[in-house]
Structure 1
Amino acid sequence: MKTTDTILIIDLEATCWDGRPPRGQESEIIEIGVCMMDVKTGKISQNEGILVKPQYSSVSPFCTELTSITQKMLDEEGILLEDALDILRAEYDSEELTWASYGNYDLNMLQSQSRRFNVDYPLGDHHINVKTLFGELHPGIRKSVGMSRALGELNIPLEGTHHRGVDDAKNIAKILYWCLQNS
């Protein structure tokens, strides 16, 4: 790990559909859930959800049902992806910290969206895949499990709204803290 005191936790939400996207639309980041976790204590700080206005898609009813994010919310409160990534750099020192996500989806999506929008990738090279780490450390888990099931296995209640980045980032931090204590 690059850092030892604090880890940046990121959870993305993206436009999605029940089936294939409508013609001309593609999956885009609509929320960057973020928090900082103190490695020694597990204390979570600086928790927020940065809403991102999609440029090539719109929020479907399926997506709203899953995430609780509406197109109206993004139209009124969302910012451009480039500005959201600037927030990560300026307020979270994202290029310098070790960062973590649950699985590789967030890593791959941030890389592809950075290329798609021709913006600098906002994170450092040191990434922790909490999903893989949990699977390696938790007895009785033979395959990777979703975040909600991992919390259940640890008897940690899911806090907030599942599939909201602002809430899932905190839930991922709790799983990561357990992993660090048990590795």
Structure 2
Amino acid sequence: MRTFVVFDLEFTSWQGALEQDWGAPGQLREIVQIGALRLREDFSVAEEFEALVRPVANPRLSAYFTELTGIDQERVDREGRPPAEALGDFLGFCRGQSVLSHGNDMIVLGENLGWARARGEEVGNGFLGAHFLDIRPWLNSLAPRTEAVNVGRLWQVLGLARPGGGQEHSALFDCRSLAAAIEHLCGAGAALPEGCLRHS
């Protein structure tokens, strides 16, 4: 059966960082959490991926980030994995798939991959085995009311049932919100962008 992947990232942030495009000195978008779902063409979940990652440049999470995501320092210190290890495993999960995000998460992924390699760390797998696509323009064109909301609120603005497990700004919950929105629009007659479904 053909499948595709939806993914979401949570990365280091501070009050006002979004408005400043992370432009303040030292404010890097270091990945702290990766969530992904491999979906079959009937939108059922074939496999999940989740990883916590220990940031390197800013190892202490901001209070703003913790309040936003619910991810605290103790959990990252206890469960967080080295960036290169988590990134390599995620890219392996994506191999051979179309990989959809709501916005520029593939750019943040690329930044983190570059930093890991610049530190001399070996990352298993790579981008070339997957096809990354920002699905947000497709969603916004079909449902303009989604333009003003983040991925974790797509289910709400579309009037869908709340996805199970987690909260907004938790990577897997946001993946479920995105998956629900895609399923809803395809159920209403829309077609996924060309090439999104590939044989697993």
TM-score after normalising by structure 2: 0.76
Q: Are the equivalent residues in 1 in contact too, given 2:69–2:170 (CA < 8 A)?
A: yes
Q: 2:133 aligns to what SS in structure 1?
A: strand
Unaligned runs of 5+ in 2: 118-122, 192-200
Cross-structure match for 2:139: 134
Q: Are the equivalent residues in 2 in contact too, given 1:44–1:173 (CA < 8 A)?
A: no
Distance across 1 between alignment mates of 2:128 and 2:84: 13
Q: Aligned partner of 1:18: which letter?
A: Q
Q: Deviations over 1:62-81 (max 9, x none)?
A: 11110011111111101011
Which of 3, 7, 15 is equivalent to 1:10? 7
Which of 147, 154, 166 is equivalent to 2:151? 147
Cross-structure match for 2:95: 95
Unaligned runs of 5+ in 1: none
**C-alpha spacing 1:26/1:61, structure 2 compared with 1 (3 Å):** same
Q: Are the equivalent residues in 1 in contact too, given 2:8–2:174 (CA < 8 A)?
A: yes
Q: Aligned partner of 2:87: which letter?
A: L
Q: 1:18 aligns to what SS in structure 2?
A: coil
TM-score after normalising by structure 1: 0.83
**C-alpha spacing 1:11/1:123, structure 2 compared with 1 (3 Å):** farther
Deviation at 1:96, TM superposition (A): 1.2
Q: What's the % identity of the aligned pairs? A: 26
Moved more, 11-20 or 111-120: 111-120
Deviation at 1:107, TM superposition (A): 1.0
Q: Aligned partner of 1:47: which letter?
A: E
Q: State the aligned residue count.
A: 175
Deviation at 1:54, TM superposition (A): 0.5
Cross-structure match for 2:197: none
Distance across 1 between alignment mates of 2:127 and 2:51: 14
